[in-house]
Amino acid sequence: MTKFFKDYSREKLDKVLEKIGVKNVEELYSDVPDSIKIKGEVNLPKALDEIEVEEYFEKVLGKNIVHDEVLTFLGAGLPPHYVPAAVEAIVSRSEFYTAYTPYQPEISQGILQALFEYQSMVCELTGMDVANSSMYDWATGAAEALRMALRVKGKKKVLVGENIGPERKSVIRTYLEPLECDVLEVSYDSVSGRIDLVDLENKVKDSCALYIENPNFFGIIEKDALKMADIIHNEGGIFIVGIDPISLGLLKPPGEYGADIVVGEGQSLGGWLNFGGPSLGIFACKGDMTLVRQMPGRIIGMTTDLSGERRAFTMVLQTREQHIRREQATSNICTNEALMAVATVAYLALLGSRGLRKLAVEIFERAHYACRRLSEVKNVIAPYFSGEFYQEFTLKLIGGDINKFFNRVVDKKIIPGVILTRYFPKLDNVLLSCFTEVHTIEDIERLVETFKEVMA
Amino acid sequence: MFRQARWNEPLLNELSKEEDNFEKVKLEGLPDEVIREKLDIPNLTEKRVIRHFMRLSQMNFGVDFGTYPLGSCTMKYNPKICERIVSNPKLKMLHPLQPQETCQGILQILYELAQCLVEITGAYKASLVPSAGAHGEFVGALMVRSAIKDKGELDTRREMIIPDSAHGTNPASAAMAGFRIVKVPSNSEGLVDIEALKGVVGKRTAGIMLTVPNTLGLFEKNILEIVSIVKEAGGYTYYDGANLNALIGKVRPGDMGFDIIHLNLHKTFATPHGGGGPGSGPVCASKEVEEYLPVPLIEFDGRKYYLEYNRPKSIGLVKGFYGNISVLVKAYAYIRLLGSKGLRNTSERAVVNSNYLLSLLDKRFYEVPYGTSMPRKHEFVVSVGKALREKGVSAKDIAKALIDYGVHAPTIYFPLIVQEALMIEPTETEEFEEIEEYARILNEIAYRAYSDPEWVKGTPYNTSVERIDEAKASHPRTMCLNWKNLKKV
């Protein structure tokens, strides 16, 4: 049985109450109007012992069907990745996980150094100069990046790729709605799946930012990103790029093709899928101080103790933040995803540059193997878009009904991907599938065989 | 005696002396011009990485190590069983886009949690998506905005009323949602000044954001009048639940008449703070405004649980997927462990602890501002302004002295309406003996502030580093935000 607080004798309790100067506990609530005080009990399930609680959650969570019973090829913003045991050993240290925001830096150097290293790793990975110590997730990071661009530039129009993650697109719209600005979508090319540069040229006038994702939601590499950077920069706007961090073990960092702000999802760098959260919003920008001063979120800096002799870490540029600047703050964010950032820096430290390159190459090769094999299935076009892809690609079924097909594959204990029609109505019978290091060649062969069976 | 570890642990990139670049690759299907050529991340052994982070962990302080009475942050003990429950592979390996019939277990748990939160707050419906308190506030402010827009009043109702004692996130969240902030002052009792409130409400009022108990740890005894003043003016009422740990099972925000309420599961419901996050800030809404809640909601049709997106008046999505799920699961496990009686006992003990600690302090040094005769709730605020005037010892000095004793400092310099404030929230999980010890330390520091002020101003001595040069840290010439800057300096 979990003991949450100590049972004291009536005597001790009375002594404490006497010291406080009240006769009973109820007197401490004498300022709560009687009319609204709860008379009986709040209607909650009855309390359980620790062992019963464990059994209950085992039983209910047991209804979920996961990896060992069903093979899944789902990515769509959250690709599955292996979590090294050492990452778990690190984030399960309660010196880290039972602490809070390091408001007293002298007693919190551990997490501060880890977060400083996280920021440094993010900068190295993305080719940026300054990273914050985390946002809630990729979507809120992208939305805050656009809000930041609107603050810096003072214009009323932003552009986002039509081929970015649909959830991120929705979150961006929610976050930007109060700013009463225009959020325009730049179409993708219906053959390659990449951003249509002509459409971008046509829409760019008076825009203060362009947000694209690379690889985009269809898994395709935006190899013309440098041209997009030029187009938005010529208009005086800010180029914001959303990334998959592991892809940067193989792909050019956005800093090398003109990005001013980079955002992305860090959850799968040392975090489990967990039905989508806790997530980790990666957020970094160029060293230009007009940008840095408008950044949302906490930033950790390196300094020394007052004697100047010993290295030390602390939160910096706090005058941007809500607890000081209140309604003038760059964002309202306070609690962030610090422990996920610790997992990420641990993960990257364990892999190193060579491990990350090897992993990204392995993912690329596995996805391309899968694509080749699936393209051999009759009435399947893989990839559907012609653009070069990284770990995800689109497949089109010729004839038949995608929903029926999908359900029949699920009956064979395989979740083959995400049906894109839900997000992109004009994409009829198209599926988005994801392949990473967690998928073996046998898994891929099983997928191919199942497709063949179901298509037959 | 407390003595924190002092490892001279280098930065990760300093642990590797060799060139950390990787080999060039050529891959079929990938144009050369998109391939990365350089990546400077150290290549270390697992053992070295482990030693690095274990050493860092020894230079950090959490609730598991000592009293951590950070005001308004509710640093209570985090039961270990909750951690074990979320290590279940049936949760860890679950992808959010799996067909919903394969996710019935987690959907059931989230549905049941939402039901509990609705009961606890006296609201009608809850969204579990917001990832932190401030995220919940922003969601709430957007809901107010949508409700006003629906009434066709967005052109006029642009003002959010916020007391001067509020957390900084309230004005920041309301401003993000497009509102102008109207500050309402506290009266001599530390409560919302009713006359001043009457003076600012009107046709321009969108709503009020109120933290109850407030940041002085005081319950707004005129709460029903405040709510009705704002509602009569046509505004909405938002309850910031950051301080709800004082009131569970005693009184419900919904019964006070609030339209929108956020909770901080990482505070009130004992999920660990993670060194700054992840948290979780569910938003509960009354029947009148529930249609504006963000999507998706989790519903049950009597046979299966499902994610409901079809809510035309919703403010939309506010985050990818459905929330910080494992945090939500831990909070639900905590609720199931305690039940309604246990939760009420929790609040009562939190309030007893806070008042007990206050009663033990030397009031000549720790002066109580506002409403001195009123009982505090889960936290209280004292001022050390006198020590600053007489001995040059500030709230910051007191905080640094505290950590030298191996206990954490309270929140300092907050709320802004109190000079040299210490905001102390011991929570229910500290024992009376620990409360007494914390009081003893505070009183000893008070004594030393007069007998040996230089000692106090020089603290801390026993932590991993001594007093930090904060000015250097944020000065444009010396600022160092990543290890690349370091190489240049």
- Whether A175 and A250 share a structural domain: yes
- Whether A179 and A199 share a structural domain: yes
pLDDT at A211 over 90: yes
Q: Is residue B67 part of a domain?
A: no
The nearest CA of chain B is from the CA of A208 a distance in Å of 19
Mean pLDDT for A343-371 is 97
Contact B428, B269 (CB under 8 A): no
- Whether B134 and B197 share a structural domain: yes
Q: Among B314, B71, B172, B488, which residue's Cα sits nearest to residue A129?
A: B488
CATH number assigned to the domain comprising residue B347? 3.90.1150.10
Q: Is residue B446 part of a domain?
A: yes
Q: Between chains, do A4 and B135 touch, taking CB under 8 Å as contact?
A: no
Q: Is residue A5 part of a domain?
A: no
Mean pLDDT for B213-218 is 96
Residues 6+ apart with CB under 8 A from B326: A274, A277, A278, B86, B91
Q: Between chains, do A356 and B324 touch, taking CB under 8 Å as contact?
A: no
Interface of B with A in 202-231 (CB under 8 A): 218-219, 221, 223-224
Q: Between chains, do B466 and A342 touch, taking CB under 8 Å as contact?
A: no
Mean pLDDT for A172-197 is 97
Strand partners, A396: A381, A430
Q: Between chains, do B323 and A342 touch, taking CB under 8 Å as contact?
A: no
Q: Is residue B113 part of a domain?
A: yes
A with B: how many residue pairs have Cβ under 8 Å apart? 655
Which letter does DSSP use for residue B100 in this model? G
- Whether A98 and A126 share a structural domain: yes
Q: Between chains, do B482 and A116 touch, taking CB under 8 Å as contact?
A: yes
At residue B13, the 3 state secondary structure works out as helix
Which chain B residue shows the shortest CA-CA distance from A134?
Answer: B277
- Whether B238 and B264 share a structural domain: yes
pLDDT at B80 over 70: yes
List, for residues A101-158, the tens digit of each pLDDT value.
999 999 999 999 999 999 999 999 999 999 999 999 999 999 999 999 999 999 999 9
The nearest CA of chain A is from the CA of B198 a distance in Å of 21
The nearest CA of chain A is from the CA of B389 a distance in Å of 23
Q: Among A300, A261, A283, A124, which residue's Cα sits nearest to residue B487?
A: A124
Within an 8 Å CB–CB cutoff, is residue A57 touching chain B? yes
Contact B302, B147 (CB under 8 A): no
pLDDT at B93: 96
Counting runs of H as helices and runs of E as strands, what totals does chain B give? 17, 12
Q: Between chains, do A337 and B62 touch, taking CB under 8 Å as contact?
A: no
Of the CA atoms within 13 Å of residue B419, those in its CB half-sphere come to 9
Q: Which of B39, B323, B341 sits opposite A356 (nearest CB)?
A: B39
Confidence of residue A3 (pLDDT cuts 50, 70, 90): confident
Mean pLDDT for A272-290 is 96
- Whether A170 and A316 share a structural domain: yes
Complex prediction ipTM:
0.97
Within an 8 Å CB–CB cutoff, is residue B397 touching chain A? no
Contact A210, A257 (CB under 8 A): no
Interface of A with B in 339-368 (CB under 8 A): 339-340, 342, 345-346, 348-357, 361, 364-365, 368
- Whether B134 and B246 share a structural domain: yes
Q: Is residue B356 part of a domain?
A: yes
Confidence of residue B20 (pLDDT cuts 50, 70, 90): low
Number of structural domains in chain A: 3
Within an 8 Å CB–CB cutoff, is residue B191 touching chain A? no
Which of B321, B337, B353 represents a domain boundary (last residue)?
Answer: B337
Confidence of residue A7 (pLDDT cuts 50, 70, 90): confident
Interface of A with B in 37-56 (CB under 8 A): 37-38, 41-48, 50, 53-54, 56
Torsional sign, CA A108, A110, A111, A115: positive
The nearest CA of chain B is from the CA of A22 a distance in Å of 9
Interface of A with B in 63-92 (CB under 8 A): 63-68, 70, 72, 74, 76-78, 80, 84, 86, 89-90, 92
Q: Between chains, do A306 and B431 touch, taking CB under 8 Å as contact?
A: no
- Whether A297 and A444 share a structural domain: no
Residues 6+ apart with CB under 8 A from B199: none
pLDDT at B288: 97
- Whether B333 and B360 share a structural domain: no
Confidence of residue B489 (pLDDT cuts 50, 70, 90): very low
CATH number assigned to the domain comprising residue A377? 3.90.1150.10
First to last CA, chain B: 38
Q: Is residue B317 part of a domain?
A: yes
CATH number assigned to the domain comprising residue B213? 3.40.640.10
Q: Is residue A65 part of a domain?
A: no
- Whether A151 and A105 share a structural domain: yes
Within an 8 Å CB–CB cutoff, is residue B68 touching chain A? yes
Task: Write phi, then psi, for A375 (nearest 5 degrees).
Answer: -70, -15
pLDDT at A399: 87
Contacts of residue B57 in chain A, CB cutoff 8 Å?
Answer: 90, 93, 95-96, 110
- Whether A256 and A135 share a structural domain: yes
CB-count burial class (<10 Å; 0-12, 13-18, 19+) for B27: middle
Q: Is residue A154 part of a domain?
A: yes
Q: What is the pTM of this model?
A: 0.98
- Whether A121 and A246 share a structural domain: yes
List, for residues A383-436, the tens digit of each pLDDT value.
999 999 999 999 999 988 999 999 999 999 999 999 999 899 999 999 999 999
- Whether A220 and A109 share a structural domain: yes
Number of structural domains in chain B: 3
**Secondary structure element (H or E) that encloses residue A42, with its range:** none
The nearest CA of chain A is from the CA of B46 a distance in Å of 6
Q: Between chains, do A54 and B78 touch, taking CB under 8 Å as contact?
A: no
Q: Which of B56, B73, B348 sits opposite A100 (nearest CB)?
A: B73
Contacts of residue A5 in chain B, CB cutoff 8 Å?
Answer: 345-346, 349, 428-429, 431
pLDDT at B63 over 60: yes
Q: Is residue A58 part of a domain?
A: no
Contact B376, B217 (CB under 8 A): yes
Structural domain range at position A181:
85-347
Contacts of residue B85 in chain A, CB cutoff 8 Å?
Answer: 53-54, 57, 61
Q: Is residue A21 part of a domain?
A: yes
Interface of A with B in 115-134 (CB under 8 A): 115-117, 119-121, 123-125, 129-131, 133-134
Which of B292, B314, B337 represents a domain boundary (last residue)?
Answer: B337
- Whether B333 and B354 share a structural domain: no
Q: Between chains, do B145 and A178 touch, taking CB under 8 Å as contact?
A: yes
Confidence of residue A456 (pLDDT cuts 50, 70, 90): confident
Strand partners, A434: A392
pLDDT at B17 over 80: no
Confidence of residue A210 (pLDDT cuts 50, 70, 90): very high
List, for residues A37-74, the tens digit of each pLDDT value.
999 999 999 999 999 999 999 999 999 999 779 999 99
Q: Which of A136, A302, A349 sits opposite B135 (nearest CB)?
A: A136
Within an 8 Å CB–CB cutoff, is residue B400 touching chain A? yes
- Whether A138 and A176 share a structural domain: yes
Strand partners, B297: B308
And the tokens for B477?
């010439």
CATH number assigned to the domain comprising residue A134? 3.40.640.10
Contact B403, A104 (CB under 8 A): yes
- Whether B158 and B224 share a structural domain: yes
Mean pLDDT for B167-187 is 96
Q: Between chains, do A53 and B171 touch, taking CB under 8 Å as contact?
A: no
pLDDT at A360 over 90: yes
Within an 8 Å CB–CB cutoff, is residue A11 touching chain B? no
- Whether B213 and B351 share a structural domain: no
Q: What is the mean pLDDT of chain A?
A: 96
Q: Which of B251, B318, B358 sits opposite A171 (nearest CB)?
A: B318
Q: Is residue A53 part of a domain?
A: no
Q: Is residue B416 part of a domain?
A: yes
Q: Mind giving me the DSSP string for A160-219?
A: EETTS-HHHHHHHHHHHGGGT-EEEEEPBPTTT-SB-HHHHHHH-TT-SEEEEESS-TTS
**Secondary structure element (H or E) that encloses residue A99, with its range:** none
- Whether A41 and A129 share a structural domain: no
Within an 8 Å CB–CB cutoff, is residue A61 touching chain B? yes
pLDDT at B484 over 90: no
Torsion of CA A161, A162, A164, A165, to 10 degrees: 150
Q: Is residue A54 part of a domain?
A: no
Mutate to test the interface with B, among A107, A168, A369, A410 (most CBs of B within 10 A): A107
Q: Which of A96, A351, A410 sits opposite B99 (nearest CB)?
A: A410
Structural domain range at position B413:
340-473
Q: Among A454, A348, A416, A322, which residue's Cα sits nearest to residue A118?
A: A348
The nearest CA of chain A is from the CA of B362 a distance in Å of 13
- Whether B223 and B327 share a structural domain: yes
Task: Write phi, then psi, for B473 (nearest 5 degrees).
Answer: -60, -35
**pLDDT cut 70: percent of chain A above it:** 100
pLDDT at B488 over 50: no
Q: Is residue B69 part of a domain?
A: no
- Whether B331 and B351 share a structural domain: no
- Whether A277 and A411 share a structural domain: no
Q: Is residue A220 part of a domain?
A: yes
At residue B445, the 3 state secondary structure works out as helix
- CA dist B39 and A121 (Å) reads 10
- Whether B396 and B413 share a structural domain: yes
Contacts of residue B238 in chain A, CB cutoff 8 Å?
Answer: none
Interface of B with A in 280-299 (CB under 8 A): 281, 294
Within an 8 Å CB–CB cutoff, is residue B395 touching chain A? no
Within an 8 Å CB–CB cutoff, is residue B85 touching chain A? yes
pLDDT at B240 over 60: yes
